[in-house]
Amino acid sequence: MFSARLPNTSIRFRHQLWICVLYLVLAVSIASNALQDPFRRFLGGPGDPQQFMWYLHWFWYALTHGQNPLQTEWLNAPYGQNLMWNTSIFSISFLFGWLTVLVNATFLYNALWVLNFVLACWLGQQLLALFSVRRWLTVVGGVLMGILPYSTAQSLFHLHLWFTAVPLALMWWLVAGCMRGVRRPVPYGVVLGLLAICQFYTSIEIFTTFVLVMAIFVLVHVVVGGPTRLRLLCFTPRPSLMAAAVTFVVLAAPGVYTLLFGADRPQGHLLKEDLYVNDLLNFILPTPVYALHSAYTTAVSLHYTGNYWENNGYLGIICLLLLVLALPLWYKRPFARSAWVTVILTALLSMGPHLHIAGQRTDIWLPWSFLQHVPFINSAIPSRLMLYGDILVIVLLVTAGETWLRRNNTLFGHTVVWIAVAGVLVTWFPETPFPTTDTPDAAAALQPGNPVAEAVHGQPTLVLTPDPSVVMQANAESGFVFPMVNPYGYTANTLQRQAALREMSRLAWDRLTEADALQILHMDLPGLGARRLLYYPNTPDEALPDVVVRAIDKVCGHPVAISHGALVWKVPTADSRAGNDRDRENGRTWRMMVRLETKRLIFVE
């Protein structure tokens, strides 16, 4: 029996391997600009990607140095940060962070994007295959899963959001259990719990919204699912649920405790309302991150609230028309009907508490108004819910194509499906090559042996930059040279400390007079706990204004180290400031004595 099945297994493996090669070629073509210099250039814009490079290093660094990986004093020093309240990607760092011993975090970041693209395509293909869809349609559907409009936008900055392989794996595992049944309940439950915990420690927000959308789908199916509602509600045996719950609770306990009771927890409402929402026009008109856009669509998208990477509603006119035209093909199928209603509800929720049209907030209330004050959900960004809307849209379109082909298995029928699929692919395809950012030249200043690295080594250092995440990359890749006084993300800082940090950042970007800079340095620097000031330029032609440099020199003395455009000043302590005051007073007394002695000698003569 085994030898009879081996050829089929081998053929299936080869088919899947070639399909993954296809997905890999597509991923490399999109990321080609970054992959030309993968150790110095990374996908997306500056800022958040460099934060995630720090996190890729942090988990294993903390474990090997006897520190708590869920909290850190290497950010927001000397007070520290609770990393469970920030996008710390513990699961991804646990699985892949140890590779930073072999390659730098920039290379690993690019490799993770390529890996996720291939995995997302392959898992999407496997998900679609569960609905008895022919192979070539599942392969094309897999490509669509890799270029989700949501993923394209988030690929500019947010690793914890563009790593869609985990939610797709969760969805595939749940649908497989529902469609095929659960033969081994306990192993099935353990795998389900492990996938859930992987998502929990990658992004609590995506974990929470996954549960939310799944609950919405179940409730919708109970209402419109007809006889199949019991099949959905009862597909998981009790041992599976128990195994999944035990696995999840045991592994989530440290994170949940740190989240709810750990030190340095931020307080209050953390997000602005009615900001990161999907504009009504965003569902139709693309932003510049997609290959098919124009000056007109870009001009319109500039008016949306939030930013490009949080405008996640885009589906395109072709996709929206297909969703409407395909409705008769699957409206009699209970699960497809429930998915269609869930897509509509998800899109409505992604638009936030009020309807936005061309960037203008209206007074029309939307369903998110009822959820924005629910614990944990209130920390989610509404526009990101279209992750699930995009996935369900692909499932609906592919299954509609399969139904059409079964009814019209002719050249005309195949041509119609190919045209429809090509239309969606063209309108969804990302800008290629995808935008990239080069590592700042100043990163070399933090390499071991450099005078700048020696000057800040082990010292709480305040970085003069409008975006402290930029230096996080170089700090981590150099082996965590110094604890940063700058925070990044959510902290428990007092309003006074927050204001002082904002004022100090003005030295790097605001147009100040020397008197203004001196006032900021005298008023805000002493209470931050910094022992060093580091200016870290993001580009080779960037430099601190001369008036700011003179002001810092007057307060801290001349720089103690300079390299690759980076400058380091030693912040005077209370004792040294008192000593400087005594020296200045002694100097004034000495000069006065000299003048008096000179006058006496002249008088005597």
Give tens-digit pLDDT for 555-596.
Answer: 999 999 999 999 999 999 865 544 444 434 443 333 333 233
Percentage of the residues of the chain whose pLDDT score is greater than 70 = 92
User: Which of the pair, 572 or 375, is modelled with greater confidence?
Assistant: 572
Q: 16-35 pLDDT, tens per residue?
A: 999 999 999 999 999 999 99
| pLDDT of 598 | 32
- Does the pLDDT value for residue 235 go beyond 80? no
Q: Tell me the three state secondary structure of residue 41.
A: strand
- Does the pLDDT value for residue 412 go beyond 50? yes
The answer to whether 195 touches 123, Cβ cutoff 8 Å, is no
| pLDDT of 373 | 83
| pLDDT of 410 | 92
User: Which of the pair, 541 or 577, is modelled with greater confidence?
Assistant: 541
- Tell me the pLDDT of the chain averaged across its residues: 89
| pLDDT of 581 | 44
- Does the pLDDT value for residue 435 go beyond 70? yes
In the chain, what are the domain boundaries?
272-407, 441-572
> Average pLDDT of 94-105?
95
314, containing H or E segment: none
> Average pLDDT of 206-231?
86
| pLDDT of 489 | 87
What's the residue count for the chain? 605
The answer to whether 54 touches 472, Cβ cutoff 8 Å, is yes
SS3 of 497-559: HHHHHHHHHHHHHCCCCHHHHHHHHHHHCHHHCCCEEEECCCCCCCCCCHHHHHHHHHHHCCC
pLDDT band for 89, please (50, 70, 90 cuts): very high
Distance CA 471, CA 559 (A): 19
Among all chains, which residue has been given the structure tokens 């493996």?
Answer: 13
| pLDDT of 593 | 34
| pLDDT of 237 | 74
- Does the pLDDT value for residue 296 go beyond 60? yes
- Does the pLDDT value for residue 174 go beyond 60? yes
> Average pLDDT of 110-115?
97
- Does the pLDDT value for residue 234 go beyond 70? no
| pLDDT of 229 | 63
The answer to whether 112 touches 99, Cβ cutoff 8 Å, is no
pLDDT band for 323, please (50, 70, 90 cuts): very high
Percentage of the residues of the chain whose pLDDT score is greater than 90 = 77
- Does the pLDDT value for residue 395 go beyond 80? yes
pTM of the model: 0.91
